[in-house]
Amino acid sequence: MNKMKINNEKSFKEVTEDKAVAEILGKLGGEVPTIFDRSASMKCCPIGSSVSGICCKNCGMGPCRVREDKTGLCGATLGTITARNLARHIAAGAAAHSDHGRDLAHLLGLVAEGKAEGLEIKDELKLMKLAKNLGIEIGDRDIKEIARDTSKKALSLFGQQEGEIDLIKVAPGKRQEVWRKNNVVPRGVDREIVEVMHRTHIGVDQEAEHILDQAIRCAIGDGWGGSMIATEITDILFNTPQARKAKTNLGMLKEDEVNLVIHGHEPTLSEIIVELADNKELVEYAKSKGAKGINVVGICCTANEVLMRQGIAPIGNFLSQEIAIMTGAIELMVVDIQCIMQALGKLTKNFHTKLVTTSPKCKISGAIHMEFKDSNGLELAREIIKMAIDNFPMRKEKIYIPDVTSDLVAGFSHEYIKYMLGGRFRESFRPLNDAIIDGRIQGVVGVVGCNNARVTQDKYHNFLTRELIKRDYLVVLTGCAAISTAKCGLMEPEALEYAGEGLRSICEAVGIPPILHLGSCVDNSRILTVLSEVVQEGGLGEDISDLPVAGIAPEWMSEKALSIGTYVAASGVYTVFSGEPIPVESSSEVKEIMTKGWQEKYGGQLEYIPDIEELLNKVLSVIQEKRKALKIDIKKERVLLDMEARRALKDV
Ligand code: XCC
Ligand code: SF4
């Protein structure tokens, strides 16, 4: 282990922009190895970079290492292998999101039948909306019946074999036509994932463009299928988010309370834990063990879910998970699925912290497995909280909690944004469209995705967000990107002062911050819904591809991010990834297909630009081009009206 490399103040700042993480590394870095040490001592495998070609291990004659001038044993070319590898990544990402969505669809059915203890339908209006989109009869039927049928129909979309998945109808009509024309409307969520796996098996699909079209069909099944189902049903069962204040970062751990961290992606058990942590009896029990109370906080997207609905503090994003344990203040970390480092199993052994896995899909050696089975939620949550409390007196190491916190505002569902814009009785995206048309808002940019140990933690998210709002671009965030900007204080209400004049005037008038936290990774589907409704509102073209918007994943690392980027591009948005490594770097053919080729076919593209300033400039120029095409690029003079002029206007 190369401890020397990062065991000094300067290099801590090189690996993270998060002050709390840097502080802990400064105190304890090197004593126990973390991902930052591993990243310093192990370079990325160079295969895949343009000079070294790419590797295929799709059959037992390989691995074959292939370059521009050399094929694999079977004759597969560089372009084919690059496309196949990427398609498989996308299929894995889509599978992760969709399996998460499937579980929620299943859960909705159990709740409808009263078989999920501690859970109920919280947002009936939202249930009606989803039921309608899925073609379920509403009439004056009982809410439970509607919920049961909605669950059944949602579940059927995963295994559907023919036709089209219903939710693509949320997209503008013109967009649906683009997909139909290119034959990429998903027939069923699972079916497209399976077909990617089949087509990338040795000797099947061997034309890069054709393989990538299937990857697109699979990704659309994620965004407009699995992920959308996950978001909608989470809102139905746990409430559609509304703006709420909260705090973030490691300073939210409490020295004198039982600290319980929820980490992963699934909201269900976490929601129950959060609610139960206020239970008087349990709080009394904690007091009997010498603690002042029970403090539930989160990491990664489970944190985003409970932040959006309950205001629970996210104490960190992906790269903070080990660092949080190193505070010595965590009694128990309960994890479900996705983005949980296996390293936690070994790391927690150095501390009193208990690591508990709960999903039937995820076990980690060294962790205690306590399985969540839909119907045992309340009982399991109580057991986990009790275990955390019992562990409080077992603290042995020195507690070190950095005094670093930031305020934030989160909870921007598409419904809430619409409500803020138009007011309770006239919910509408009109004010947003008007602000974009008159240039006060130049465009909307999604900054999404992960942390990546090869990139300074949070740096790109924060840089881009600052630069964009300064130039009057409204920024929407999800996932770890959202936690980044929250940690550096960009989501504080005062952050408005960093925004350009036009954006600030709108935000002040409407009462929203210039940076909107839309939720977890599956909630990127909220962005799709917003874009569709903005198109429908009128004045900005007829399709998502006409809108002055872009998507960026500057610190991505997970396969889910690749699936997200692909469905966003396929929905007509200019999408750009940064960071390293670049999975298609070796093949100019594949890069060309995903940029020029997709632009022609889908009106959106997925590009990789490693240099962050170059990336920013590209995003700005793409959006300005869209404004030009819409003929809204000429900045209209803003006339300030006095009271009389306002009255006169009203009378017209
Ligand atoms: Fe995971 Fe969603 Fe990535 Fe963060 S952002 S590292 S996927 S937790 Ni989605
Ligand atoms: Fe090599 Fe072809 Fe087998 Fe890939 S599928 S490992 S290129 S022989």
- How confident is the model over 538-547, as a mean pLDDT? 97
pLDDT recorded at residue 45: 87
Task: Decide if 461 contacts 557 (C-beta within 8 A).
Answer: no
Q: Which residue has the tokens 């109370």?
A: 293
Ligand 2 site, residue 64, Cβ cutoff 6 A: yes
Q: How far is the CA of 211 from the centre of ligand 2 (A)?
A: 16
CA–CA distance, 262 with 384 (Å, rounded to integer): 11
Residue 424 pLDDT level (bands cut at 50, 70, 90): low
Q: How far is the CA of 58 from the centre of ligand 2 (A)?
A: 6
Residue 493 pLDDT level (bands cut at 50, 70, 90): confident
Which atom of ligand 2 is found nearest the CA of 73?
8
**Strand (E) positions, 313-387?**
314-316, 332-335, 354-357, 368-369
CA–CA distance, 161 with 144 (Å, rounded to integer): 28
Q: Pick the closest to residue 160 from 191, 133, 183, 185 (CA basis).
A: 191
For the chain, give the number of residues.
652
pLDDT at 295 over 80: yes
Residue 534 CB neighbours (<10 A): 23
Distance of CA 189 to the CA centre of its chain: 19
Ligand 1 site, residue 483, Cβ cutoff 6 A: no
Q: How far is the CA of 588 from the centre of ligand 2 (A)?
A: 20
pLDDT at 2 over 90: no
pLDDT recorded at residue 640: 56
pLDDT at 642 over 80: no
Residue 12 pLDDT level (bands cut at 50, 70, 90): confident
pLDDT tens across 138-195, in order?
999 999 999 999 999 999 999 999 999 999 999 999 999 999 999 999 999 999 999 9
Task: Decide if 88 contacts 212 (C-beta within 8 A).
Answer: no
Task: Decide if 20 contacts 402 (C-beta within 8 A).
Answer: yes
pLDDT recorded at residue 206: 97
Task: Tell me the β-bridge partners of 356.
Answer: 334, 368
Q: Which ligand is nearest to the CA of 230?
A: 1
pLDDT recorded at residue 604: 98
pLDDT tens across 346-362, in order?
999 999 999 999 999 99
pLDDT at 575 over 70: yes
pLDDT at 581 over 80: no
Which atom of ligand 2 is found nearest the CA of 59?
3
Model pTM score: 0.94
559-570 helix and 524-537 helix, angle to the nearest 10 degrees:
10
User: What value does the mean pLDDT of the chain take?
Assistant: 94
User: Any idea what DSSP says for residue 318?
Assistant: G
Site to substitute for ligand 1 among 339, 451, 457, 485, most atoms within 8 A of C-beta: 339
pLDDT recorded at residue 1: 36
pLDDT recorded at residue 635: 62
Q: How far is the CA of 389 from the centre of ligand 1 (A)?
A: 29
Site to substitute for ligand 1 among 300, 315, 319, 447, most atoms within 8 A of C-beta: 300
CA–CA distance, 419 with 211 (Å, rounded to integer): 42
The alpha carbons of the chain give a radius of gyration, in whole angstroms, of 24
Q: Which ligand is nearest to the CA of 201?
A: 2
pLDDT at 107 over 80: yes
Q: How far is the CA of 380 from the centre of ligand 1 (A)?
A: 26
- Report residue 522 as tokens: 């599956």
Question: In percent, how much of the chain has pLDDT > 90?
Answer: 87
Write phi, then psi, for 475 (nearest 5 degrees): -110, 130
Q: How far is the CA of 478 from the centre of ligand 1 (A)?
A: 9
Which atom of ligand 1 is found nearest the CA of 265?
2
Residue 394 CB neighbours (<10 A): 12
CA–CA distance, 511 with 460 (Å, rounded to integer): 27
CA–CA distance, 499 with 432 (Å, rounded to integer): 16
Nearest-CA residue for ligand 1 atom 2 is 301
Q: Which amino acid is at 597?
A: G
pLDDT recorded at residue 511: 87
| Three-state secondary structure string covering 12-54 | HHHHECCHHHHHHHHHHECCECCHHHHHHHCCCCCECECCCCE
Residue 445 CB neighbours (<10 A): 27
Pairing of strands 294-299, 258-264: parallel
Residue 643 pLDDT level (bands cut at 50, 70, 90): low
Ligand 1 site, residue 449, Cβ cutoff 6 A: yes
Task: Decide if 486 contacts 410 (C-beta within 8 A).
Answer: yes
